[in-house]
Amino acid sequence: MASVRHRRQERRTIDSSIHKSRIINWDPTEEFVKSSRVVNNAMQTMHIMGDLGPPGKLGQKENECLLATIKTDGNGTIIVKPDFNKGREPYRIVTEGEKREVWRLTLENVSTVMKPEERDREQNMYRDLYGRHKEYLNSLVGQDFEMVRGILTAEKRDQILTADYNVPALCFEYDNLFINFFMELPNNWSSLPFQPLSGVTHTCRTKSLGKVAFFGYPFSFEAFYMSEKESEELIPQWPVIYFKVLSLDAWQRYRTEGYGYLLFPAMPGKHSVTCHTWRPVQTGTVSALRRFFIGGSAELEDSSYVRIPGTFKMFNVLFVFGFRERG
C-alpha cells in the first residue's frame, strides 16, 4: 500500500536527447487517459493467444488472435481483459481474410471458492493494513488541528489607502494625519487570544495636489462566528471597524479630525469601500482658539457612539445628542 500511495520524492533528470515536444501528449487516446489517472506500477502481463486458422493451416502467424490479457502486480492485483462473462453473452471474434469466420469466446472463473476462514483472515489482514497506514498518515500530519464544525471563519485583509479631503465642505482642517482604528465583535463572535483588534497608522503628510494622504497601511483581522442554533442561515450582525482620524503638528498638538465606521463585508472577494467621517464641533470663539493654539476639541468618549453601540441590549433608540431614550 505504501508503494501505491506514497509519492516519489527523488528527482529525475530529463534526457537532453528527448525532444521537448514529446513531454506533452497533445492528442491523447482514451486508453492513455485511463492509464494516466492511476499510479503506474510494474506489472507482469500474460497474453492468451489462439490459432483460429482453418484445419491444415495451423501454426501460421497471420491466423493468431489475442483472446485475453492477464496482468498482475506485486500487491496481488489481477486484471483480466476482457472480463469474465458471468452469464452474459459470449464475446465475438471476427477473423480477417476471405471467409471472415466468427468465433464465440467465453471466459469463466473456475478457481476454487475461498473458504470462510480464509476470507475472514484476508479481511482482517486488509483491515490491519489500512489501520496501520492510517496511523502512519496521522503521524505525518499531526494532531494540531481544531474542529471548526458549525463555526464560520471570517478573515479580512485590508489596506488603508488614502485619506481624501478634497471636498471643501467635508475637508479635514489640519495636515499630518494618522488613523486609529479598532474592531468591535458582536454577540457569538470571537477571535484568537493573540489577535490584535486595534491599530494605529503612521503619520502622513498630504500632497499639495488634491490634498490626499496616501497611507498604504495593511492590516488583517480574523474572527469566528458560532451560533447555538444550527438551523440559523443568516448572520444577524457582522463585526464593525471604527476609524478615528487625528492630526499631529510640529508642536505635538493632537486634534480630532473625524470619526467613521465600516461594516464587515458580508460577501467574500475584493471590496473597495469609502468611510465617511464626521466630528462634533463646539461653537464659539473660545473653542476655536483652544483648538488652534493648544489642540484638543470636542470628541467622543466612546468611539462606538458613531453608530448605535453594540453595548445597548434593550434600548436601540438614541436622542439626537447620542443618549439613550428610555421613554
Angle at 163 between CA 191 and CA 267, to 5 degrees: 40
Q: How far apart are CA 33 and CA 295, in angstroms?
A: 75
Tell which residue, 42, 39, 60, 43, has the closest CA to residue 51: 60
What's the first-to-final CA gap in the chain, in angstroms?
Answer: 74
Residues 6+ apart with CB under 8 A from 42: 73, 74
Tell which residue, 220, 213, 210, 218, has the closest CA to residue 162: 213
pTM above 0.85, yes or no: no
- State how far the alpha carbon of 22 is from the alpha carbons of 19, 26, 132, 300, in Å: 6, 9, 40, 71
**Are 274 and 161 a contacting pair, CB within 8 Å?**
no
User: Residue 32: in which H helix or E strand, if any?
Assistant: helix 30-36
**Are 277 and 162 a contacting pair, CB within 8 Å?**
no
Query: Residue 282 pairs with which residues in a beta bridge?
Result: none
Burial of 223 (0-12, 13-18, 19+ CB in 10 A): buried
Q: What is the pLDDT of residue 15?
A: 46
Other CB atoms closer than 10 Å to residue 99's CB: what's the count? 8
Residues 6+ apart with CB under 8 A from 306: 242, 259, 260, 261, 278, 300
Q: What is the pLDDT of residue 6?
A: 47
The tens place of each residue's pLDDT in the chain, 327 residues long, gives 455 444 444 444 444 444 444 567 778 888 777 766 655 667 889 999 888 877 777 777 878 888 899 998 877 788 888 888 888 888 888 887 777 788 898 998 888 888 889 889 988 988 998 898 888 888 887 776 665 555 566 666 666 666 654 433 346 788 888 888 888 888 888 888 888 888 888 888 876 655 778 888 888 888 888 776 655 556 667 888 899 988 888 888 888 888 999 888 878 888 888 888 888 888 888 888 888 888 877 888 888 888 876 666 555 555 555 554 444
SS3 for 257? strand
Query: Residue 158 pairs with which residues in a beta bridge?
Result: 219
